[in-house]
Amino acid sequence: MKEKTFDTSDAKKVLDKHKDALLKTPGCNGIAIGLKEVNHRKIPEVSIVIFVQKKGQCNASDLIPEKLDGIKTDVVEREFNFEEVATDPHARFDTLFSGIALTAQEDSVNYGTIGCFIRTNGLAAAPPRPAIPAGVYLLTNQHVVQVADPHNGGNGIIIQPNTTKPFPPPPANYNAGTYVYGIKDAQHDCAIVTLTAAYNRGWANQIPNAPWWPGRNTLAGTAAPQLNQNVYKYGATTLYTTANVRYVNYIDPTHTYVNAMYIENTNQGTWVDGGDSGSVVVTPWSNEVVGLNFRADTTKPALSGTGFYAGLAYDINAQMNNFGTVVTLA
């Protein structure tokens, strides 16, 4: 049975006329147009609704008239607390998770994406690589955070969220961690960061869910990539996108990229764009991480006009294993 609809055009004119006065009602939490309620039951009559914390806060001189320009009114006790349910990857989060933006403090232009959090049993120093103590680390691409590398003159500070303003310096509580070590060569583009507890920066191996599905998925572990595997990612620029592992063990003629995964949205929809670097490639439903995104194929612009429909990722375990003899998702 089709639901009955109601014409609200007359009520909208009245609401627009009286809105400023109505919003000054003591205890008012908002105004709207809705069906009048009698004894908590809706009746089929359009009314102007005034929401208040407590009806008792309206004294005699503030009582709302029963009608405004012929449209009935309704005073309803209701409190509201509105929060965004979408993830803004460029907002600051106390608890860090996959898919949000980060960068080196000294990098005022570029940013990338938090991949995941790994736990390692550590490695002894092997110059030029420093010792890697056992513990939990944030994983992303080396090219995302390499400006912070002290071996290259960086101050080591990684911030979340990112900032594109070199002056003034970002707030102290943007400090997310300290650069430890990274590798960028033909088979790797990975780096690890210690986390900063001083500003309540915790972590969670979670990734934002698909559009229309609120909340986040928990990353369940890692797995080897499979040919023709359906995957998704959440990147700081293009957010949630899906694709297919089209090829594995890709090697280009100059050996710039060796043993990479070529991932493609077969419908030519958006897969990645600049700023998505470091995002993890995840299997739907099982939520296992299979790869770490590091390049877009810029010869493949998405039909939507946003980003590109194909790119490269490295096998996640091949990246994680650079940081210990036993490395797992944290």
Residue 133: the pLDDT is 98
CATH number of this structure's domain 95-204+324-329, picked from the four choices 3.30.590.20, 2.40.10.10, 2.40.100.10, 3.40.50.1400: 2.40.10.10
- Residue corresponding to tokens 């998925």: 217
Higher-confidence residue of 60 and 284: namely 284
Convert the pLDDT of each residue in 234-281 to its tens digit: 999 999 999 999 999 999 999 999 999 999 999 999 999 999 999 999
The domain spans of the chain are 9-77, 95-204+324-329, 210-322
Is the Cβ–Cβ distance between 262 and 250 less than 8 Å?
yes
Convert the pLDDT of each residue in 187-224 to its tens digit: 999 999 999 888 889 999 999 999 888 899 999 999 99
Residue 1: the pLDDT is 46
CATH number of this structure's domain 9-77, picked from the four choices 3.40.190, 3.30.1540, 3.30.300, 1.20.1410: 3.30.300
Instruction: Give the count of beta carbons closer than 10 Å to the beta carbon of residue 13.
Output: 12
Q: What is the mean pLDDT of residues 226-239?
A: 96
Residue 56: the pLDDT is 57
Q: For the full predicted model, state whether its pTM sits above 0.75.
A: yes
Q: What is the mean pLDDT of residues 318-322?
A: 98
Asked if the domains at 9-77 and 210-322 fall in one CATH topology, the answer is no
Residue 58: the pLDDT is 55
Residue 60: the pLDDT is 36
Convert the pLDDT of each residue in 106-156 to its tens digit: 987 899 999 999 999 999 999 999 999 999 999 999 999 999 999 989 999
Q: What is the mean pLDDT of residues 10-28?
A: 88
Nearest CA to 48 out of 25, 15, 24 is that of: 15
The residues facing 73 across adjacent strands are: 48
Q: Which of 36-40, 98-102, 283-287 has the lowest mean pLDDT?
A: 36-40
Convert the pLDDT of each residue in 37-69 to its tens digit: 887 777 888 998 888 886 555 553 467 888 999
- Residue corresponding to tokens 């004119």: 13
Q: Is the pLDDT of residue 320 over 90?
A: yes
Higher-confidence residue of 232 and 198: namely 232
Q: What is the mean pLDDT of residues 4-18?
A: 86
Class of 210-322 in CATH: mainly beta
